[in-house]
Amino acid sequence: MHFARENPLIRMIIPFIAGIIVSSFAIIDFKLLISLLFFLLVSFVIFHFVSRRSELNFKWRFLPGLFLSMFLFFTACTISQLVKPESKRNYFPEVYEKEDMLLLKITELWSERARSYRTVAEVHAVYRDSVFINTSGKVLLYVSKSDTSGLPAPGELMIANADFQSIPKPTNPHNFDFHKFMASQGVYYQMFLNENQFLTPEIQPQKKSIIYRILSLRKYLLNQLENVFDSSVDLAVASALLLGYRDNIDPELREAYAASGAMHILAVSGLHVGIIFIFFKYFTSFLTRFKYGNLIRALIIISLIWLFAVLTGLAPSVRRASTMFTMITIATLVSGKSSIYNTIAGSALFLMIIDPALLFSIGFQLSYSAVISIIAFQPKLYSIFQFNNVIADKAWALTTVSIAAQLGTAPISLYFFNIFPNYFILTNLIVIPAASLILYTGMLFFLFHPLIWIGEAVGFVLKLLVSALNASVFQIRQLPYSVTENIILLPWEPFLFIGMLFILYRMFTFSFKPALVLFFVALMLFQTGRLSSDKLAENNTFLRVYDTGSQFWLEVRKGKVSYLFAYTNPEECQAYDFNVFPAVMKGGVSDKFHQKVTDKNQLFTFAGYNVLLFDSVFYNTYDLSLLPEIDLLIVGPVNRLPINQIVDNKIPQKIIFSSTFSYFRSLSWQEICNENDWPCHFTNLSGAITFFPEKNKLTIFNN
C-alpha cells in the first residue's frame, strides 16, 4: 500500500493506457465521450469532498478513485480519437479531387534510397481552379533521383501534381508492417514524383520555423562530420551516435551492431541523454552552495539536455529521454527526494497525452522497460559483490546496468527482433564507455571545428574513437556463438515474462515464499503454452503462395517441416529474406528444405489434392492432354497460358497467379477470369494465399 500511495501517477497511468488500447480498435461516439467525461468529473469532485466527511460509510470511499480512473480511461479514448488525422478539419484526402495539385511543406531532411529521395511533408493546401483550399495531414514523399537540384529544403514549400496512395499494408504473414509504422507517426499516404511533377515556388516563407532552423543546423553539422571521416562506416556510426541521423547505416553495419548487442547506441536515446545528464549534473554540483543554486543548476541541466535534443534532430527517442530527465530534474528540485517510479510514470503519461500512439511504438516500450528495470534490479544486482578496486567496481556497476537493462528489454526485443546477443555484457563494457567518450569528443568538435588547429585535432581523436568502436563491435560479432537467432515468442509470452520479472522484484524486495510460488506458476504456464503451440505446429499442414515482387515462392508445410519451391536460391533472392523467411521462421518450423522448380516436381499430390505448377518449361515439355484433374493450378513465369486446355476436364478449386505476373498483366487476366467465371487469385494484387487441405479452405492473407 505504501508503494501505491507514494506513486499516485502509476495508479493514474494504468487506466489511461487501457483507454488508449481500447480506442485503438473501438470507436466511441464523440458526444457520448464528452458527456461521460463531464459526468465522471462532477462525480469525482462531489465524492472526493464527501469522502472527507466522517458521515460517508467507509465501504463507499473507493468511489472517488473509481470515478477518477474512469475519467482517465475515457480521457485517453477522447485524446486518441482527436489526434487521429482523419478527425482533424479539412483532412486532405477528404478535400482532394482528381487533377488537383497539393501545396506541401517539407518537414524532415531528405534521405537517400536506392532509386529515390524520401521525406515527410505536411499538406498545407489543395490547389483547385486558381484557389488554395487549406488542408491538414502528412504524406510520405518520394522523388526520383533523375533530378535533385530543385529539392526544397526542410521548412520550404513545393507544389506537387500527382495522385497519392495509401501506404500499403503487408501482403505476407509476419512481414514488417511499414503501414503501421508510419501510421504511428500520423502518416497514412504516400506520393511518388518525378522531375516533371513538382516545382518549388520562388516565393518561400520569410519567417523560418524552428524545425527548419534545427534541421539546417543538423545538416551543417553532418557536413562537418563528412569532412572528418574517410570511412563511410565510421561516418554512419558517428552521424547516428552524435546527431541521430541513421540513413547512412547499411544492412551489414546494422546487423553487426544488432548481433553484438550494441544497436542501442546507434539510436540517440536514454543512454545518450543519460550521459549528458550525469556529466553536467556532476560539473554543476558546485552551484548547490549558493542561494538559488539548485534552481540555476536545474535550469542549466534542462537547457543543455534540450540543446542536445535539438542538435540530434528531436527524434522521438531523444524527446522521450529528454522529457524523462527533465521531469527527474524538476521533481528533485521541487521535493528534494522524489519517487523515481512516480517521476518515470509522470513523464510517460505526459508523452502519451501529447501523442497516445507512442504506447504502440517499440522504441517507447523499450525505453521505459529498460529504465524501470535498471531502477528496480541494478542496485540489488550491484550489492551481490563488493570490490575494493575502483576499476573492478566500475566494471561491475556497468555489468549490472547491462544485465538489468537486458532483463527489462528482452521480452519485447525477442518478440519483435527474434535474436539475442550472447555477449551483450562484454559489448556494453566496451561500447558504453566508448560512446561516452565519442559523445563528449563530438560535442567538443562541434564547438571548436571553426578553429582550424583545434578542430582538426579534436576531429582526429573523434575519428580514432569511432574507428576503434566499430572494430570492437565487428570483432565481437565474429566471435563463435555471438548471437542466438530465430527465437520465437508467442504474442502472450512477453506479457508473461514481464509478469515474471515483477514477481522476481517482489521476491527480492518484499516477501519470498508467495512470490516464489507465483514464479513457478508462471513457469508452468509458459511450459504449458509451449507444449500446446508445439502440438499445433506439428498438426499444421498447408500450401502457401507468397507475394514476392517478380519472384516465385511456394511453401508446402507438413507439421514442423517446410518445403520451399522457387526458381532461385534463397541466398540470391532478397525477396526471400523480407517476404518468405519471417513467416517460415515464426511458424514453428524445425527443418526447411529448398527445392528449385523443375519438370520433376511441378505436378504433385498434396494431402489428396492434385497441384500443378505451370510455367513455360512445363508447357513445352508436357502433353497437356495427359493431365489429371487439377485441384490447384499455380501459374508461374509463362509466356503463353493455354488455360482452356488445363481446365478442360474440371475447373480447379483455385487458379493462383504468382507474383511473376506483372501488375498490368494481372489486371488483364483478372478480366478474363471474371468473364469465364474462373476462381482466380492474383498474389501481386491481393497478397499471399494459403490452402488448408484438412478444411478444404483457402485463406487470403489480409492484414
Same-domain check for residues 135 and 201: yes
Residue at grid coordinates 503454452: 529
pLDDT above 70 covers a percentage of the chain that reads: 92
Looking at the structure, tell me whether residues 162 and 268 fall in a common domain.
no
**Containing structural domain, residue 611:** 541-700
Q: Which three cell numbers stand for residue 173?
A: 504473414
Whether residue 307 is found in the same domain as residue 385: yes
Consecutive H or E run containing 451? none
0.75 surpassed by pTM: yes
Same domain, 361 and 510: no
Q: What are the Cα distances from residue 319, in Å, to 56, 178, 240, 269, 307?
A: 45, 22, 15, 8, 11
Select from 82, 112, 129 the last residue of a domain: 82
The predicted-structure confidence for 35-91, as pLDDT tens digits, reads as follows 888 888 888 887 777 666 655 555 666 777 788 889 999 999 999 888 887 777 789
How would you class 619 by CB atoms within 10 Å of its CB: exposed for 0-12, middle for 13-18, buried for 19 or more? Answer: middle
Strand order in the sheet with 632-635: 603-606, 609-614, 632-635, 654-657, 680-682
pLDDT at 138: 93
Q: Among 118-127, 301-310, 352-361, whose mean pLDDT is lowest?
A: 301-310
Residues 6 or more apart whose CB falls under 8 angstroms from that of 578 comprise 175, 176
The C-alpha angle with vertex 523 and arms to 519 and 527, in degrees rounded to 5, equals 170
Last residue of a domain, one of 207, 232, 259: 207
The count of domains in the chain is 5
- 261 and 292 co-located in one domain: yes
Report in angstroms the alpha-carbon separations of 503 from 341, 496, 530: 17, 10, 21
Ranges 328-337, 377-386, 540-549: which has the least confidence: 328-337
Chosen domain end from 42, 58, 82:
82
Residues 570 and 622 in one domain: yes
Which has the minimum average pLDDT: 406-410, 440-444, 520-524?
520-524
* 683 and 596, same domain (yes or no): yes
Mean pLDDT of the chain: 84
Query: What are the cell numbers at 610?
Result: 492434385
- 25-39, 52-66, 122-136, 169-183: lowest mean pLDDT where? 52-66
- Tell me what the mean pLDDT of segment 159-186 comes to: 89
Write down the pLDDT at residue 51.
Answer: 65
pLDDT value of residue 142: 92
Tell whether 368 is covered by a domain.
Answer: yes
Cβ atoms 421, 258 nearer than 8 A: yes
- 87 domain residue, yes or no: no
How does residue 626 score in pLDDT terms, banded at 50, 70 and 90? confident
Do residues 629 and 610 touch, judged by C-beta distance below 8 A? yes
The 10s digit of each residue's pLDDT in 425-466 is 899 899 988 988 998 899 889 888 888 888 889 999 999 999
Report whether pLDDT(615) > 80. yes
Same domain, 203 and 227: no
604 vs 613: CA distance, rounded Å: 9
Does residue 679 share a domain with residue 597?
A: yes
Q: Between the CA of residue 510 and those of 3, 59, 233, 331, 506, what are the distances in Å?
A: 12, 28, 49, 26, 5
By DSSP bridging, strand 157-160 and strand 198-199 are antiparallel
Pairwise CA distance, residues 384 & 400, whole Å: 10
Claim to verify: residue 432 and residue 296 sit in the same structural domain:
yes
pLDDT, greater one: 300 or 569? 300
Question: Residue 647 falls within a domain, yes or no?
Answer: yes
Q: Write out pLDDT tens, residues 137-160.
A: 999 999 988 765 678 888 888 898
In this structure, what CATH number is given to the domain that contains residue 153? 2.40.50
Backbone angles phi, psi at 123, to 5 degrees: -90, 100
pLDDT over 90 percentage in the chain: 18
pLDDT of 1 > 60? The answer is no
Mean pLDDT, rounded, for 499-512: 76
Verify that 507 and 478 share a domain, yes or no: no
What is the rounded CA–CA span in Å between residue 105 and residue 153? 9
Handedness of CA 296, 298, 304, 310 (dihedral sign): negative
Query: Mind giving me the DSSP string for 586-601?
Result: TTT-SEEEEEE--TTS
The answer to the question of residue 535 being in a domain is no
Q: Is there a single domain that holds both residue 153 and residue 180?
A: yes
Task: Assess if residue 536 is contained within a domain.
Answer: no
Beta bridge mates, 193 = 143
Q: Is residue 645 part of a domain?
A: yes
- The Cα 476–Cα 423 span in angstroms is 8
